[in-house]
Amino acid sequence: MKQLYFHADVVTMEEENGEIQTAQAVLVEDGTIIEVGDEEELRQKAGENCEYIDCEGKALLPAFIDAHSHLTAQAQSFSYCDLSGAKSFADITNLLVDFAVSRGIKQGEYVIGFGYDHNALLEKRHPDRHVLDRASQEIIKKLPESFTNFPGNDSENEGIPIAISHASGHMGVLSTAALHAMGIAASPENKMIGREADGSLSGYLEEKAFIDLTAAMPKPSLEQSMKNIERAQQLYWSYGITTMQDGLTKADEWKLLKAMAEQEKLHSDVVCYVDLKDHRAIVQENPEYTKNYRNHLRIGGYKIFLDGSPQGKTAWLTEPYEGETDYRGYPSYSDEQVQAFVRESVEDSQQLLAHCNGDAAAQQYIDACEQIGGTAKLRPVMIHAQLLREDQLPKLKELGMIPSYFVAHTWFWGDIHLKNLGKARTEKISPVKTAVELGLPYTFHQDTPVIPPDMMQTVWCAVNRRSKDGVVLGEQQRVSVKDALKAVTVNAAYQYFEENQKGSIRQGKQADFVLLSENPLKADPKKLNEIWVLKTFFRGEKVYEAQK
C-alpha cells in the first residue's frame, strides 16, 4: 500500500552545505519512504492504489526520538497520586486525601504519590512523616466504611502507609506506617536516611536508600500495567515521539514489556536499558532482543547511576555547592566499581548509559571508559550531563561518548541552580553549543516522568535558555533551531545505532513522521514552545491526531 503525504512543508533534517533540505511531498510504501521531492512528480509515481494524506501546508518532520526516559515509570505513575501541582504541605495533604477517597483505598493498601518538588513548596523543604501521617488521619475519617475498626494514628497503629516521590525520582518521604511496613530503621551511618533532632526517623530518604525502596513498593496488576503502557504510548505520541526508552529496566519492567511485545500491544519502538548492577542476566537470557526489534521491543544495553540530582543537591561535584564549605554531593560507586561496570558492558558488547549530573561523576565515567578501553564502538552515553564542564567535552569526543543533555533544566530548575550552584556554574549547565563546535554528537531528553516528553519545549529551552524568572542562563551556550532539532532527530537516531533507519526523511528510512502546526525553522525562536503536534505517524500508520 502506497501513501502520498502532500501539500506539506517537509523538513527532511537531511543537510547539504549546512542547510536542511526541504520538499513538498513524501511517497511511502509499506511503512518505508520510497521517495521525497516535488508533489506533482510524486503524484505521477503514486499510481491508483495510493492513500493521499493532505498535510494542509503544515510542517512534516521526522518523528521525534526519545533519547532517555522511563516509559514504564511514566505508565506506573498513572496509578499514583499526581503531586506535581503541589505548592505547599497542605496541597500535598489535600491531593493525597482526594486521591485516596476517589480510589476507595482500603485497609492494608498503600497510597503512593509522585512528582512533588520541595523547591516549589511554600515551606522550601521536603515534607516529613508527620505531614503524611496527618493525611492518613484525614483519609481514615473520610472512608469510615473501609476503616470502621481502624485505630488510626495511635500507639498500636500508625495509620495508612503513604509514600511520595520527589519529581526527580531520587528522593522521597514515607509515613510512619510505611516506614514500619518497609522495615526502615534509623542508622547513624546511613546519611541517606533522614532523622529528626532526637535521632528518630523523619521519613525522608534519598538516592540508594530511596531508589532501592521503590522496587519493593506495591505495583499495579499486570493487566492494569499493560493498560498504563498503552496510555503512556499515547502520551508520547501526543508530543510526536515514536521511539521510546525504558531507561532502567529491571525484572518487573522487563516482564511487563516482553508481555506487551508478545501480545503485539506495542505500537511504537521501545528500547530498554537494563539495570546493570542487579539485572545483567536479562541481557544474557534474552539474546534475541539485543540485535533487532521483536514486535517493536529491543534491548539497547545497560544503565548505571553514578550520582544524584542537582536540584536535590545530591549530584556529585568537584567544587562545593553554593554556601557550603565542603559538601559536594556524593558518588554512587567507587572508581573500581564503575570500572567493573564498564568492563562488563564491553565484555557483553552492550552500550552503556551512565547517569551523571555532576562534573565529578562525569569525570569518573570518562576515566573508567578510558581505563578499560574498547568503548568507542559501543557509543557510551552520558545521561543528563548537567554540570559537564567545557574542558571535559574533548575527552568525550575522543572516547566516542555521547552527552545526552537534560537541557530543559534551564527552565524548570534554572533559578534553583542559581541558588545551589552560583551564577558561573549555572550559566554553563548543559553546554550544548560547545558540543556543536566540537562536532560532538549530542541528544536531548526529558527523563519522563520527571517532566512530560515535550520535545518542542525542550527545543525552545536549548535555543533560548531562559529560567522561569526570565533569567538567560548562559547566552554563549544557546544553539540554533537547526542544531536543537538535530538533537531529537538525526543525533538521537545515531545514539541508538539507527541512523540508517530513522531521524530524517530520506529514501529507505522508516516512515515515522510528526506534523507540526508551524515549521520550527521559520518560526519566531521565542515561540517555539507554542508549536504543537497535529499528527504523529509510526511506520506510515497514524497513531495520534490532536483534537480540534
499 grid coordinates: 541512523
313-347 burial: b if 16+ Cβ within 10 Å, else e = bbbbbeeebbeeeeebbbbbbeeebbbebbbbbbe
Chain center to CA of 222: 23
What residues contact 145, with CB distance under 8 A and at least 6 apart? none
Which pLDDT band, with edges at 50, 70 and 90, does 156 fall under?
Answer: very low
What residues contact 409, with CB distance under 8 A and at least 6 apart? 310, 311, 386, 417, 429, 430
Average pLDDT over residues 430-458: 98
310 three-class SS? coil
Which pLDDT band, with edges at 50, 70 and 90, does 186 fall under?
Answer: low
pLDDT of residue 227: 96
Q: What is the mean pLDDT of the chain?
A: 94
Q: How buried is residue 7: exposed, middle or buried, by Cβ count under 10 Å (0-12/13-18/19+)?
A: middle
379, containing H or E segment: none
Which pLDDT band, with edges at 50, 70 and 90, does 150 fall under?
Answer: low
pLDDT of residue 359: 98
Give yes or no for a contact between 454 and 446, defined as CB atoms under 8 angstroms apart: yes
Which pLDDT band, with edges at 50, 70 and 90, does 47 fall under?
Answer: confident
Give yes or no for a contact between 289 and 299, defined as CB atoms under 8 angstroms apart: yes
Report d(CA 139, CA 331) in Å as an integer. Answer: 39
pLDDT in tens, 237-285: 999 999 999 999 999 999 999 999 999 999 999 999 999 999 999 999 9
What residues contact 290, with CB distance under 8 A and at least 6 apart? 283, 298, 299, 350
Report d(CA 346, CA 374) in Å as an integer. Answer: 7
pLDDT of residue 148: 65
How long is the chain?
548
Give yes or no for a contact between 296 and 350, defined as CB atoms under 8 angstroms apart: no
Pick from 139-153, 299-313, 333-347, 359-373: least confident:
139-153
Which of 495, 428, 248, 356 has the alpha carbon at shortest distance from 367? 356
pLDDT of residue 187: 59
DSSP string, 117-170: -GGGSTTSS---HHHHHHHHHHHHHH-TTTTTT---BSSS-B-S-EEEEETTSS
195 three-class SS? strand
354 three-class SS? strand
pLDDT in tens, 407-421: 999 999 999 999 999
416 grid coordinates: 534553583
Report d(CA 282, CA 475) in Å as an integer. Answer: 44
Average pLDDT over residues 112-133: 94
pLDDT of residue 435: 98
Between the ranges 177-186, 216-225, 359-368, where is the mean pLDDT highest? Answer: 359-368
pLDDT of residue 155: 38
User: What domains can be seen in the chain, in order of their start residue?
Assistant: 80-214 (3.10.310.70), 306-479 (3.20.20.140)
229 grid coordinates: 503502557
Give yes or no for a contact between 490 and 243, defined as CB atoms under 8 angstroms apart: no
197 grid coordinates: 533532632
- pLDDT of 188 strictly over 60: no
pLDDT in tens, 199-231: 888 999 998 888 877 777 778 889 999 999 999
Which pLDDT band, with edges at 50, 70 and 90, does 151 fall under?
Answer: low
pLDDT of residue 406: 98
